[in-house]
Amino acid sequence: MINRILLLFLLYLVLGYSTASAVTSKIMRFSEASEFLKGKTENVIIDSEGTILLARESTTIDCGELLKDIWSINTVTVDSSGNVYLGTSPNGDILTYADDKVTKLYPVCESEIAESSETTDPNSIKADPIIRNEHIFALAFDKGDRLLAGISGTVCKVVRFDKDMTTLFEPEDARYILSLAVDDMGNIYVGTGPNGKIYRLNPFGKEPKLIYTCQDKNVLSLAIDKSGTIYAGCDERGLIYKIDQNSGKATVLYDSEQEEITSLLLDEENQVYVTATSAGVLKEKVQFDPIGSEDSPGKTDSKANGQEKKNNAGTEQKIPNTGEKATASSPKPTQVKRGSLPKTAGHIYRIDPQGFVTDVFSDMSVFFAMTQLNGNLFLATGNDAELFSVDVKTEQKSVVYEDEQSSQITAMAMANHQIFLGLANPPKLVMVADHYVKEGTYTSELIDAAQPARWGKFQMEAGIPESCEVLLSTRSGNVNDPNDPTYSAWTDPVKVSHATDLGCPIGRFCQYKLTLKTTDPKSTAQIRETAVAHVVPNLAPQVTTVKAVLQKGKPGIFQIAWTAADRNKDTLTYIVELRKLGREPWIEVKDELTAVNLEWDSKTVEDGRYQIRVTADDRRSNTAETAMTGTRISDPVIVDNTAPQIEHATTKIDKKSLTIVLALRDEFSVLQSLNYTVDSNEDWIGTLPDDLVYDTMQESFTIKIEHLETGPHVIALKFTDSVDNTGYKTYDLTIQ
């Protein structure tokens, strides 16, 4: 409670005494994952809830030259002793990691290398003189904990490794062995392509039997439940089959909107978890795709292996309420991704025993592999090489690991709470531990105050266990480039235990760096929100446009409109004034306006050319000493409320004809029309100037009226200018 009161008091000092003043601090708060991900991370991650934590310890295992000619690690599995096995492309190598050493298990000598050959199979890559054109897509263990491998290529076979390698089965019409599964009885199931067949071998690897032929080309994934029911995921149509071995009948459990079912997983409640994607996973693995290794900012994690966000031990730091949330106004350019996104998102579906389907998770990523531990699903993805953790109960995701060089995590396996990842482009083997690194840093994006500012205090909403601490460093500058050499040096790190001075010089941009440390590998600080305060001096408001337009249908009425802006976001009031060109004093039209438009009746002034001045005033948001104004003057506006005048006119009667010759003139506006009537006030007849064009303020006219009847007549003239000022003239005459 004391700490809370102290923080509120500190915030009061930061904000100042008057909430109306534009010179007080502005608080920029950051709490969303999307905001933190704009910064840079080193050994820290940002989870899906926007919490900064230390990253898990990860190690890239040295494979020496064994990965030199490998394009992709397709599958990873671990035996009961913790030995790791990798299946690769394009040479079909099987590597094993045991006793801190990586060795090649297959092939072990030149006699075992299959000869490359041309193939007409559209699903296969073309043979290459230096490529054996073999792929290991599937690894598994039989009941005796012996390694099973599906070798894809010109000769397709299932082999078993004991003391020696033994070939168990060679499906005649298969090019790929894409999936292997072993049931509780020890029977071995084989999913093949490109003819979509599923075979079963007995526990000894004998008596192969064709169980089912799918209409799809490739059986990408297999799972067998306790009753022996087969679940198969295929490509092209994204179907999940449920196959009854006793009857040999199959039903479609689910038709996904994606094209490929890359993995299947059965939990203890006999629910099926499915990863579906539409990114050509098989082609990704058999055809080399050189993708760059541009870094991506930020890594995210789950809730720290079950550790709650609120720590019972240690300290809790809070940010007092600052009203409406403000974030940095200068967006950072989007960073180039290492790989192009698939056409559609990947999905994880959960199918219960009654066949009800739940869409658990989706992401614009390629989904390669999935496994489960302690109620969480772990998902290996591309094209940013991210390992997701998905809580199946809350359906919340986090990122456990993100690689900075490789483009895809194509395979994974778990052993002793460690996760072994197989990556591609470039290939590598990574081990992710279940504990945190000792130290990591988070560097924020540049925080833009829009003007050179005085930077105040840094605050954070965080849980910090007793074994952890957070240190703060800052710097500032006036260029929207963090690499610019004019930036100030980073301040010395200081421990953040309360509202802490940023301590950097005056500048438009500020950047902070947080260093997270722990002495307990099972604990980490958890930073949920940060806040940065700054003060920008009051800046004059700006009136950016002023226009005055005569209203149609409203003689003499002008619509005066303007636009204005204030960089301090102050409340503005406006004064509108006018003056006739050539005169000095301004005449006030209206004061204390809050709207940005005004109707003005110009008949209150004499005709002439006028200027309109609008003044914006920010005194409502400032003190008398700090208030400022900004003005703008319009282009000249013509006020013309007088009708055109007849300069001279003559009439001539010749028998029954009348000729009127006259000249019209207007002081400020172009003449628009001249009409006449004979003994009527309705039947107006239009005329044209002698030069046939209305285009000046002075025009001459000749009006000839013939066939007048004998007797008296009244001839009326009506003339207007371009702003609809109208004048009249009548002539009385008699035809003898």
Mean pLDDT of 407-422: 91
Mean pLDDT of 611-625: 92
pLDDT range class, residue 295, cuts 50, 70, 90: very low
Domain boundary assignment for the chain: 2-54+445-535, 57-293+338-436, 542-639, 645-735
Alpha-carbon distance of 84 to 78, in angstroms, equals 5
Predicted TM-score (pTM) of the model is: 0.58
Look at 504-508, 565-569, 573-577 and tell me which has the smallest mean pLDDT.
Answer: 565-569
Q: Whose CA is closest to 185, among 246, 139, 226?
A: 226
Mean pLDDT of 640-668: 93
**Would the pLDDT of 298 be above 70?**
no
pLDDT range class, residue 365, cuts 50, 70, 90: confident
Q: Whose CA is closest to 570, among 547, 594, 552, 586?
A: 594
Residue type, 476: S
Measured CA distances, 270 to 263, 373, 523, 735 (Å): 16, 16, 35, 114
Cα of 564 vs its chain's centroid, Å: 31
Q: What is the mean pLDDT of the chain?
A: 84
Q: Do 455 and 484 touch, CB atoms closer than 8 A? A: no
Alpha-carbon distance of 645 to 664, in angstroms, equals 6
Residue 105 gets the label, from left (phi > 0), alpha (psi -120 to 50) or beta, of alpha
pLDDT digits (tens, 9 = 90+) for 662-699: 999 999 999 999 999 999 988 999 999 999 999 999 99
Count CB-CB contacts under 10 A for residue 16.
12
Mean pLDDT of 86-113: 84
Class of domain 57-293+338-436: mainly beta
354 contacts: CB under 8 Å, gap ≥ 6: none
pLDDT range class, residue 23, cuts 50, 70, 90: low
pLDDT range class, residue 280, cuts 50, 70, 90: low
The topology (CATH level 3) of 2-54+445-535 is Jelly Rolls (2.60.120)
Q: What does the angle CA 26 – CA 30 – CA 36 come to, to the nearest 5 degrees?
A: 140
Q: Do 707 and 680 touch, CB atoms closer than 8 A? A: no
Q: Is the peptide bond before 636 cis (omega within 30 degrees of 0)?
A: no
Element holding 669 (H helix, E strand): none
Q: Is 285 helix (H, G, I), strand (E, B) or coil?
A: helix
What is residue 320's predicted lDDT score, i.e. its pLDDT? 61
* CATH 3.40.50.11890 matches 542-639: no
pLDDT digits (tens, 9 = 90+) for 109-136: 544 444 433 444 444 434 344 556 789 9
More confident residue, 294 or 287: 287
Domains 2-54+445-535 and 542-639 share a fold: no
pLDDT range class, residue 282, cuts 50, 70, 90: low
More confident residue, 490 or 292: 490
Mean pLDDT of 208-214: 93
pLDDT range class, residue 386, cuts 50, 70, 90: confident
Measured CA distances, 295 to 34, 402, 403 (Å): 17, 10, 9
What is residue 397's predicted lDDT score, i.e. its pLDDT? 75
Paired residues of 680 in beta bridges: none
Alpha-carbon distance of 704 to 135, in angstroms, equals 103
What is residue 303's predicted lDDT score, i.e. its pLDDT? 38
What is residue 50's predicted lDDT score, i.e. its pLDDT? 86
pLDDT range class, residue 45, cuts 50, 70, 90: confident
Mean pLDDT of 397-421: 87
Look at 6-15, 230-239, 540-549 and tell me which has the smallest mean pLDDT.
Answer: 6-15
User: Which CATH architecture best describes the domain 645-735?
Assistant: Sandwich (2.60)
Q: Do 382 and 410 touch, CB atoms closer than 8 A? A: yes
Three-state secondary structure readout of 553-585: CCCCEEEEEEEEECCCCCCCEEEEEEEECCCCC
Paired residues of 652 in beta bridges: 659
Locus of tokens 């003007």: 451
Q: Which two tokens stand for residue 549?
A: 């337009």
Three-state secondary structure readout of 51-108: CEEECEEEEEECCCCCCCCCCEEEEEEECCCCCEEEEEECECCEEEEECCEEEEEECC
Q: Which two tokens stand for residue 630?
A: 């900004």
565 contacts: CB under 8 Å, gap ≥ 6: 541, 542, 544
Q: Of the ranges 2-16, 46-60, 123-137, which is most confident?
A: 46-60
Count CB-CB contacts under 10 A for residue 625.
7
What is residue 287's predicted lDDT score, i.e. its pLDDT? 53
What is residue 297's predicted lDDT score, i.e. its pLDDT? 31
**Would the pLDDT of 140 be above 90?**
yes
